Structure 1
Amino acid sequence: MKKNEILVLASVAIASVVLPHLGVAAEVDFSGYARYGAHYQAGDKQYVEVGTTGRSLGRLGNEVNGGEFQLSTTFEGGNGAQWDLVVLFDNWAHEDWSSPGGVDLKKAYAGVKNIIPSQPQMYFWAGRDFHGRATQSLNDYYYLTHDGQGGGFKDLDLGAGLFDLGFVGNVKNGDGGSLGSDEGSYALTTKFHGVETFVGTMDFYANYGFTSEAGDPSLRDRKPWQVAATLDIGGNHKAIVRYSEDSDNTVLIQPWDFSSEEDDLQIIFASLEGTFNKGNPLSVQYLISYKEFAGMEGTEPRDKNEYAAIVRPMYSWNDIHSTWFEAGYAVEDFENGNEKKGWKTTISQNISLGGLSWSRPMLRFYVTMGEVDDFDSTKYDTLSYGAMFEAWW
């Protein structure tokens, strides 16, 4: 899958620690996600990239190395309160992940639930965490993300659904990675989720960004916001719609994203993804997306439309061996008449723990081909060979 909240899928107890002030012992769990391997470039470009929706032509055989490694412990107090403490380091030493230093401290938080009798599942947290992340699989795209440090609560039961509220500050990302403190950019995030309808389960998001006196003075008038909704149909298909003002997938103001306080940018994003024949030897994943930019970024117009489509047929020969094929096509269509387009194909022979498409660990041996035709009539071809592993635990 990808760099995201898959960490919760499984964990392995590796040690036991004693909390003497509580008189209890707690297991320390080691969990994580990683992918590492060789990606040999035989063409003009190592990866095939078009647009701003992650790996818009597909991530199979088209993604960088990295991993996330987490230690966590849980324990229960004598009053019944259930606590957890979590620390996570990641290694994404690539410009795709804004991690120039290679190793980042991305989680360091504590949380507790079962402290309100009428809301035993309501979870309170504070610290540094992956926050407000909402992701897609085939293109490895975060259509919402507000990683930072702050606090809030999750899973307040309102009857019709559950409500989350968070307040986070953007962590300074210097040469050493995300190891600093707040840099003056903040977000207020909300999520109303698990709303059952006659067609599926819906989640709703509303997020607002602002700066403090510690923030960049030229950006203090910026007030980005976004709203989004998702519809999950039976766990097999998912529709996404998002509207953003003065922001894209995050309202945490990034000085390098926008050139002045005069920005007047609106972005619409819509996508449909899913799986046919899920869990069977032959299955097909798909994703189509549309993204529209309108308005100004500083003094430059940003009007353009992006279109992308990915399809991935997968066949499991048995509970060890499988063959995947992925094809993608994407276009950036600019208002001034320029156009950038590209295609990518990958065939991958896999060895995995289990015969399902999500079975991991997995070894992959793949070949990727693709081409990008830029609007200045320059063409870049990609031919890459790779061997890698992917695992979550």
Structure 2
Amino acid sequence: MNKCKLSSVALAVTTIIASFSISASSENIEELTKRVQELEAKIDLSYADNQQPMVLTPDLEIPLGIVFSGYARYGAHYSAGDQRYVQVGTTGVATGRLGNEANGGEFQFAKVFSNDDGPIWDVAFMIDQWGVDQWDSPGGLSLKKAYAGVTNIFESQPDLYVWAGRDFHQRPKQSLNDYAWMDHDGQGGGFYNLNLAGTKFDFGFIGQVDYGDGGALGNDTGRYALTSKLHGIELGGANIALFANYGFASDEAVTVGSPDVNNETAWQLASQLDFSPAAKLIVRYADGADSSVFNLSGDVQALYASFEGAVNVTEPFAVEYLTSYKNVSGSDADERNEYSVIVRPTYQWNNIHSTWLETGYALEDHKNGDEKSGWKVTLSQNISWGGLPGSRPMLRFYTTVGDVDNSVQGTSSVKQDTLSVGAMWEAWW
């Protein structure tokens, strides 16, 4: 990726050196080479979109010009079965995302700058395109980010980053099931990395963005969240993060479908334990909500737990895995248990070519006796930039087979199969 970023600079420098090779002295060339190295150091930065808020640090080298970053996946998905994708449950793509996900992307432009006083600022703008017919979304572009932030403004708290505007917010995401187990994207303000006796504390006041027929509007829906996170806690070889969120509403949130929502509240508590070298345990409990306290769902309780990781069996062969459980209960809930298991063996032929085989199974077990289950298998041949499972950009050529069995009490079981082939590009940068 760094080579791609630097290609234009390298080309320009090569042209200059070639043009002046006859008259330039060796000292001038050495000086020019040193300058190129300085430019490369400034361009070679980690300021990029990874579907999380971007938090500046006081030691950040200021990148040159406008930083273009984002995430996208687009391609053809030919389906010859009853349904295009294998969808079961409410924990993202519970049967596995490989060969089982829709097209879309997020495209961000940002400018980072500072002055002699020390603060470092950034201003970011992002549009996204995730219009999918099966999500009942209208298509078109939406304004996802428009914010400004600053760090290094207090000598006693150099890492404190203060922001306001519209941004991705508290959306920790899992890879194999493409599930944001918390999601409070919106507009408001707050801070990250307040140092409290060696740990870091984040806090935000966020309004849910309203949407019209053509995409995101500029106003709030009247639903709000107070979000917090305590992180940087080291214990027994694990890195621990703790979350606590509270949701509420103003009179503006009252609609025909939710006449009493302004009297509703919701809260969440969660913990995330990162184990070395590559395993993660997540536990989240919510009252009046599921993955977002914006929902204000009434008498609903949701418990979610998952364990995920990766094992390097040999140097070219690895296995990624994720297993999860969700329980939803309460008088206003569709009471049920949800289970999911995803396993993805990967084989890296070299730094360019790899083969992945992803298998997944998911089950919804409803209290009323209804049951929905599904399985999926995807074989994917990949061409990527780099030799790691997370290396991108990637060209992916895949075949998917799967089946969903929907059993409703008092009726015959309905089975829908999936058979598809596709070619997709995926990248984050």
Pairing 1:325-340 to 2, within 5 Å after superposition: 325-340=357-372
Please say if residues 52 and 169 of structure 2, whose CA atoms lie closer than 8 Å, have aligned partners that are also in contact. Answer: no
The Cα of 1:4 is off from its aligned counterpart by 5.3
The Cα of 1:282 is off from its aligned counterpart by 0.6
> For the residues of structure 1 that align with 2:83 and 2:135, how far apart are their CA atoms?
19
Residue of structure 2 aligned with 1:62, choices 81, 88, 100 = 100
**Pair 1:359 & 2:391 matched:** yes
The Cα of 1:86 is off from its aligned counterpart by 0.3
> For the residues of structure 1 that align with 2:133 and 2:246, how far apart are their CA atoms?
26
Query: What does the per-residue CA deviation read over 1:331-353, in whole Å, with 9 as the maximum and x for residues that have no partner?
Result: 10111222111100000000111
**Pair 1:234 & 2:276 matched:** yes
Amino acid at match of 1:382: T
RMSD: 2.0
> For the residues of structure 2 that align with 1:33 and 1:330, how far apart are their CA atoms?
27
**Pair 1:371 & 2:398 matched:** no
**Pair 1:5 & 2:51 matched:** yes
> For the residues of structure 2 that align with 1:231 and 1:172, how far apart are their CA atoms?
33
Amino acid at match of 1:237: A
1:25–1:190 Cα change, 3 Å: closer
**Pair 1:208 & 2:246 matched:** yes
Query: What does the per-residue CA deviation read over 1:74-104, in whole Å, with 9 as the maximum and x for residues that have no partner?
Result: 1112311110000000110126777423211
More off after superposition, 240-249 vs 352-361: 352-361
More off after superposition, 91-100 vs 75-84: 91-100
Query: Which residue of structure 1 lines up, in the alignment, with residue 304 of structure 2?
Result: 269
> For the residues of structure 1 that align with 2:251 and 2:286, how far apart are their CA atoms?
24
Query: Which residue of structure 1 lines up, in the alignment, with residue 150 of structure 2?
Result: 112
Amino acid at match of 2:94: S
Query: Which residue of structure 1 lines up, in the alignment, with residue 12 of structure 2?
Result: none
Query: What does the per-residue CA deviation read over 1:137-187, in whole Å, with 9 as the maximum and x for residues that have no partner?
Result: 000001001000000000001124100000000000111112331121100
Please say if residues 186 and 253 of structure 1, whose CA atoms lie closer than 8 Å, have aligned partners that are also in contact. Answer: no
Query: What does the per-residue CA deviation read over 1:324-370, in whole Å, with 9 as the maximum and x for residues that have no partner?
Result: 00000011011122211110000000011111111111000000000
**Pair 1:346 & 2:384 matched:** no
1:25–1:239 Cα change, 3 Å: closer
Query: Which residue of structure 1 lines up, in the alignment, with residue 318 of structure 2?
Result: 283
Q: Which segments of 5 or more consecutive residues in structure 2 lack a partner in the other structure?
A: 1-48, 56-61
Amino acid at match of 2:100: N
The Cα of 1:27 is off from its aligned counterpart by 1.5
Aligned length in residues: 367
Q: TM-score, normalised by structure 1?
A: 0.90
**Pair 1:384 & 2:412 matched:** no
Query: Which residue of structure 2 lines up, in the alignment, with residue 183 of structure 1?
Result: 221
> For the residues of structure 1 that align with 2:106 and 2:69, how far apart are their CA atoms?
8
Query: Which residue of structure 1 lines up, in the alignment, with residue 291 of structure 2?
Result: 249
> For the residues of structure 2 that align with 1:361 and 1:54, how far apart are their CA atoms?
23
Residue identity over aligned pairs, in percent, reads 55
Please say if residues 350 and 365 of structure 1, whose CA atoms lie closer than 8 Å, have aligned partners that are also in contact. Answer: yes
Amino acid at match of 1:228: A
1:64–1:264 Cα change, 3 Å: same
Q: Which segments of 5 or more consecutive residues in structure 1 lack a partner in the other structure?
A: 10-23
Please say if residues 270 and 285 of structure 2, whose CA atoms lie closer than 8 Å, have aligned partners that are also in contact. Answer: yes
**Pair 1:224 & 2:262 matched:** no
Pairing 1:62-141 to 2, within 5 Å after superposition: 62-94=100-132, 99-141=137-179
Please say if residues 132 and 146 of structure 1, whose CA atoms lie closer than 8 Å, have aligned partners that are also in contact. Answer: yes
SS at match of 1:214: helix
> For the residues of structure 2 that align with 1:177 and 1:327, how far apart are their CA atoms?
35
Please say if residues 282 and 314 of structure 1, whose CA atoms lie closer than 8 Å, have aligned partners that are also in contact. Answer: yes
